[in-house]
Amino acid sequence: MQNDNEVLIRVEDLKVHFPIYRGVIRRQVGAVKAVDGVSFSVKKGETVGLVGESGCGKTTTGRAIIKLYEPTAGKVFFKDTELTSLNNEEMRHMRKDMQMIFQDPYASLNPRMTLRDIVGEPLLAFGLASGKEIDERVAELLKMVRLSPDFMLRYPHEFSGGQRQRIGIARSIAMNPSFVICDEPISALDVSIQAQIINLFEDLQRDLNLTYLFIAHDLSMVRHISDRVAVMYLGIIAEMADRNEIYNNPLHPYTKALLSAIPVADPVYYETRKRIVLEGDVPSPANPPSGCRFRTRCPIADAHCAEERPEFREITSGHFVACFKA
């Protein structure tokens, strides 16, 4: 699949700002710059991991791509279509081909609908099947996510978190999409269930030739599943590279700190590891620092970092970094 270099999704300078209203007459006084200039592309058949801590804008990026949030600026190309200029009905049709899996398996299924209705809903929405056909397709989809078709007439609350996430996955692949955004799909699950779901993702990718944008905060899982990884910090991408490259040769100080903070399930590892512990907290996206976003916590920042915003540039082939020192 690496040979196929066709770009499926291209995001160009995407910005999503949420206005803040304050004061006596509820004037807009500013904006939460949740996503503030993000560019990347996803090739057909690959998995791109998007990692970052809470509030870094990774979920917002995912939702803006599929237009659950209206982007403030920037462009998103899916195949040859520019998405931000589409109207609702046009976008609705695009969703046959691009799908999303949500974080919370308890909240993402309508409690009043049966599995058949939930999984079959996309088919119904596009008028592609009816009656018996839906039943057959739903049974097939349930088997694909390793759930028994006998569950078809049951309701979501009869299932555990892992099973519900499978239901959500079945729904997302119902229309045979080529692109699926996985928004922290395993972070609400127990450790022993996470591996099941990750394996399922891999199986489905192989069988259905899917392309994933895999959003998560768990770096080790992201590395495991992704071909390329983008690290987000405070609304921007700090670094993006091939999975091994970014882990073996991190260039951005934030990536380095993040990597050293990963808890590794090996006590021996800690005897030798030198940790980089970052000081302080992530600043508020409503009032981000000038220049480089990371400079307030960066161990190597200098005056220049406060003045100018570092460009997101390609250092070596396919390895992008937004840092002056790299």
Stretch 97-116 residues interacting with another protein (CB under 8 A): 99-100, 102-104, 107-114
Q: What's the per-residue H, E or C state across 38-87?
A: EEEEEECCCEEEEECCCCCCHHHHHHHHCCCCCCCEEEEEECCEECCCCC
Distance of closest approach, residue 195 Cβ to another protein, in angstroms = 3
Shortest spacing between CB 307 and another protein, in angstroms: 25
Question: What does the block give as tokens for 243?
Answer: 């999975």
Site for another protein in 234-263 (CB under 8 A): 244, 247-248, 257-258, 260-263
Burial-class residue 268 by CB neighbours within 10 Å (0-12, 13-18, 19+). Answer: exposed
* Minimal distance, residue 159 CB to another protein, in Å: 5
Q: Write out the binding residues for another protein, residues 295-324 only, by CB under 8 A.
A: none
**Beta partners for 231?**
51, 239
Q: What b/e sequence results for 128-143 when a residue is b if at least 16 CB atoms lie within 10 Å of its CB, and e otherwise?
A: ebeeeebeebbbebbe
Smallest separation (angstroms) from another protein to the CB of 6: 22
For residues 38 and 14, the answer to whether their CB atoms sit within 8 Å is yes
The residues in 22-61 that bind another protein, with binding defined as CB under 8 A, are 22-24, 53-54
Contact call for residue 9 and another protein (CB under 8 A):
no
Select from 6-14, 85-93, 301-309, 315-323 the region that touches another protein (CB under 8 A). 85-93
Smallest distance, another protein to C-beta of residue 117, A: 9
Site for another protein in 140-199 (CB under 8 A): 143, 146-148, 150-151, 153-155, 157-160, 162-163, 166, 168, 171-172, 174-175, 190-196, 198-199
Radius of gyration of the chain, Cα coordinates, nearest whole angstrom: 21
| Closest CA relative to residue 46, chosen from 243, 211, 229, 214 | 211
Residues in the interface with another protein (CB under 8 A) total 92
By CB under 8 A, is residue 200 in contact with another protein?
yes
Q: Which is nearer to another protein, 125 or 208 (CB)?
A: 125
Contacts of 309 (CB under 8 A, 6+ apart): 291, 292, 293
Q: Taking the complex as a whole, how short is the minimal distance between the CB of residue 121 and another protein, in angstroms?
A: 5
Decide whether 206 or 313 has the Cβ nearer to another protein: 206
Structure tokens given for 283: 């600043």
Structure tokens at 138: 């739903």
Report the site for another protein in 266-285 (rule: CB under 8 A): 266-272, 275, 277-278, 281-282
